[in-house]
């Protein structure tokens, strides 16, 4: 049997930028009857992870699994029901309004739909400038200079500054959104499906741009996506979410080469392989993710898992470190190590 | 990249329709239509403000020997260009006076409704919860209440004066602005560009001022241009019922009401204010349509 777990560990422990611990977010559903109780959806059900300075953590999962909610929670665009988020040594879930104003400079969001993320009535230039205006950075001339510099950094020609968002192409719009997010030099950037709405060729350009900017500016990314083929190009580590929980977390190489959770395996084998003959041995999953208003007992994946047994249906698996820097939440992870390696070229 | 626009056509777009404007659908070049509408509105406003300078007679001056005299183009004399009414009052003088009051009531009434309604709609959308429920319940009450009955009751209890009349016609239509602005603010608050500036730490006031209001203003202005003729007509209706403008004051609606009794005998009494109202309403609608296009950069 091939040695399953990649064990190249770095001697120096990297600096932790953000610590997320037991993050929970409930949504309260509509009243089903006049006297009925409102149901509670556990959108995020105890998510914990660390973000190291300068890394890119990919957060993948199906739609509705809570990826975007996690992103919004750590930016405090939504209040968590419980749990803590420690950023630069401060618990940001307890900050007051004033402290938040300065904290906002350190973390930014890049959206999925670039056209929707830009105000249709303001010119590109004034929208990129806006973060500087809000935080009172520099005087008018300095601000314009910074805008031009940033515009160049995302490789857009300066004459576009006077244009309106709808006059730009999708790729250009996304560059504008990135420029606006990075202009106040944040430490953490949450990319919420930032390239999913773009053409494949443009996707590659934007991903390369993000990587370049990361090197240049020393950014940390939380890269939320459903697209594994994108995430492997940009992420140092990948976390896989399923129904409000992280089910597997490891270095990108490790996770893609040796996935331990059956759900991760299914996700990986669902990535299209550009070879018409290579369609054998796919670990497919059937059915749809369970309703978060009515989650199954035990492991949330049990109804769709080929390895599920009675224990899976009753006992919630711990999120444990099975190998060095490889966390997984599955009762059968040990048995699955090295077994049926998925086909990923 | 055009694909991108096709797959997400409506994002960032606040006006409810993306159809080409009425003018364009008619296949007209539009420019002369809009220009003449603007000129006409300008003329009416000019008459409303400066009409007293060339008003031939006081609008209350009667001439019982010269009743129902026809206008010049129907064989009348040049002393009464648009003829006289049943009491021998000069129709042109009354028209100038009537335009003055009708425009005043129309503009102020529309402004009251637009500001009040939009503000309450924004309040409802911002605070949600019980504030929204109470406000929207008031909207429903207003919608289900026949407005004429409401106006009758108010004018009967509070008494009739110009101020009260303006307030009453101003209240008409607030619920439309309230519903419109509430739903538009709700959707604007969900827009990513609002989320983006919120995550940058922009204050609520500035978010509304800079990002939300400019995007919903176009629709509200179009709503106001739809409502303005309605307010003028409502004033006419109330005057017709004897609850609106009282003698010796006069308005377009009141002249129309008087003219109704002499429609066969002396059609000019009703036709003159009728034409003014008709073209004013049409011009405002055309200009409103044009404004909508002008205010939306994505339609340029």
Residue B182's nearest CA partner among B135, B147, B138 is B135
* Rounded-to-integer distance, Cα B171 and Cα B167, Å: 6
Measured distance CA(B164)–CA(B268) in Å, rounded = 31
Model pLDDT, residue A12: 55
Q: Whole-number mean pLDDT of chain A? A: 84
Q: Is A109's CB within 8 Å of B1's CB?
A: no
Predicted confidence at residue B26, as pLDDT, reads: 55
Residue pairs between chains A and B whose CB atoms are closer than 8 Å: 95
Q: What is the ipTM score, two decimals?
A: 0.73
**pLDDT computed for residue A128 by the predictor:** 92
Evaluate whether the domain defined by B74-299 bears CATH number 1.10.3720.10. yes
Task: Report pLDDT digits (tens) over A139-152.
Answer: 888 999 999 999 98
Q: How far apart (Å, rounded) are the C-alpha atoms in residues A266 and A256?
A: 11
DSSP state at residue A89:
T
Domain A16-28+41-119+168-336: homologous superfamily in CATH: P-loop containing nucleotide triphosphate hydrolases (3.40.50.300)
The pLDDT, as a whole number, for residue B124 is 94
The whole-number pLDDT of residue B137 equals 94
Contact B298 A164 (CB under 8 A): yes
> Which residues of chain A carry a pLDDT beneath 70?
1-13, 276-284, 337-345
State the Cα–Cα distance between residues B162 and B101, nearest whole angstrom: 10
Where are the domains positioned within chain B? 74-299
Residue B42: per-residue pLDDT: 93
Contact B199 A77 (CB under 8 A): yes
What confidence score (pLDDT) does residue A1 get?
38
B128 contacts in A (CB within 8 Å)?
Answer: none
Kindly identify which residue of chain B lies nearest to residue A172, measuring between CA atoms: B1
For the beta sheet containing A16-28, the strands, ordered from the edge strand earlier in sequence to the opposite edge, are: A40-52, A16-28, A82-87, A90-91
> Chain A partners of B196 at a C-beta cutoff of 8 Å?
109, 111, 117, 177, 180-181
Cα dihedral across residues B159, B164, B167, B172: positive or negative: positive
Tell me if A116 and B197 make a contact (CB, 8 A cut-off). no
Residue A42 parent element (H or E): strand A40-52
Tell me if B4 and A115 make a contact (CB, 8 A cut-off).
Answer: yes
Q: Which residues of chain B have pLDDT under 50?
A: 1-17
């Amino acid at each position: 049997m091939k040695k399953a777990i990649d064990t190249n560990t770095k001697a120096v422990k990297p600096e932790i930028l953000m610590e997320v611990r037991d993050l929970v977010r409930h949504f309260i559903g509509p009243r089903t009857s006049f006297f009925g109780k409102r149901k509670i959806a556990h959108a995020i059900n105890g998510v914990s992870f660390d973000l190291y300075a300068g890394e890119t953590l990919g957060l993948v999962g199906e739609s509705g699994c809570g990826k975007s909610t996690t992103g919004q929670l750590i930016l405090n665009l939504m209040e968590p029901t419980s749990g803590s988020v420690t950023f630069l040594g401060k618990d940001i879930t307890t900050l007051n309004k004033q402290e938040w104003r300065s904290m906002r400079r350190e973390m930014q969001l890049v959206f999925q739909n670039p056209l929707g993320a830009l105000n249709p009535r303001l010119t590109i230039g004034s929208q990129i400038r806006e973060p500087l205006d809000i935080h009172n950075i520099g005087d008018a001339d300095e601000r314009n200079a910074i805008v031009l510099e940033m515009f160049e950094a995302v490789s857009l020609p300066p004459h576009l500054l006077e244009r309106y968002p709808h006059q730009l192409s999708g790729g250009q719009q996304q560059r504008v959104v990135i420029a606006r997010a990075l202009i106040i030099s944040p430490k953490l950037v949450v990319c919420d499906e930032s390239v999913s709405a773009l053409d494949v060729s443009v996707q590659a350009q934007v991903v390369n741009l993000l990587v370049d900017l990361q090197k240049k500016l020393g950014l940390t990314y939380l890269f939320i996506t459903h697209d594994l083929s994108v995430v492997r190009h940009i992420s140092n580590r990948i976390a896989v979410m399923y129904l409000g929980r992280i089910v597997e977390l490891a270095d990108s190489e490790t996770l893609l080469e040796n996935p331990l959770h059956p759900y991760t395996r299914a996700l990986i084998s669902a990535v299209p392989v550009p070879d018409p003959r290579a369609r054998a041995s796919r670990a497919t999953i059937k059915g749809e993710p369970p309703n978060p208003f009515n989650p199954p007992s035990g492991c949330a994946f049990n109804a769709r898992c080929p390895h599920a047994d009675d224990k899976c249906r009753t006992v919630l698996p711990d999120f444990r470190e099975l190998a060095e820097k490889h966390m997984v939440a599955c009762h059968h992870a040990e048995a699955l190590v090295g077994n049926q390696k998925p086909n990923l070229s | 990249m055009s694909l991108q626009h096709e797959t997400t056509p409506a994002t960032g777009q606040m006006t409810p329709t993306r159809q080409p404007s009425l003018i364009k659908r008619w296949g007209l070049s539009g420019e002369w239509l809009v220009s003449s509408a603007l000129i006409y509105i300008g003329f009416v406003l000019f008459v409303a403000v400066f009409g007293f300078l060339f008003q031939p007679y006081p609008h209350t001056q009667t001439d019982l020997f010269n009743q129902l005299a026809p206008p010049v183009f129907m064989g009348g004399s040049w002393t009464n260009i648009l003829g006289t009414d049943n009491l021998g009052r000069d129709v042109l003088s009354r028209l100038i006076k009537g335009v003055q009051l009708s425009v005043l009531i129309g503009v102020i009434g529309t402004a009251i409704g637009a500001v009040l309604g939009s503000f309450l709609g924004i309040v409802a959308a911002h605070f949600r919860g019980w504030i929204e429920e109470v406000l929207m319940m008031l909207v429903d009450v207003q919608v289900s209440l026949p407005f004429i009955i409401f106006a009758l009751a108010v004018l009967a209890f509070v008494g009739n004066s110009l101020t009260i009349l303006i307030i009453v016609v101003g209240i008409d239509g607030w619920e439309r602005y309230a519903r419109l602005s509430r739903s538009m603010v709700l959707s604007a608050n969900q827009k990513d560009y609002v989320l983006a500036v919120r995550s940058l730490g922009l204050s609520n006031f500035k978010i509304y001022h800079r990002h939300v209001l400019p995007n919903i203003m176009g629709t509200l202005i179009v709503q106001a241009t739809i409502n303005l003729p309605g307010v003028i007509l409502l004033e006419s209706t109330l005057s017709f019922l004897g609850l609106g403008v009282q003698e010796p004051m006069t308005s377009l609606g009141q002249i129309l009401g008087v003219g109704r009794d002499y429609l066969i005998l002396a059609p000019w009494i009703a036709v003159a204010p009728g034409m003014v109202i008709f073209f004013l309403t049409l011009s405002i609608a055309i200009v409103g349509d044009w404004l909508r296009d002008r205010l939306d950069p994505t339609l340029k």
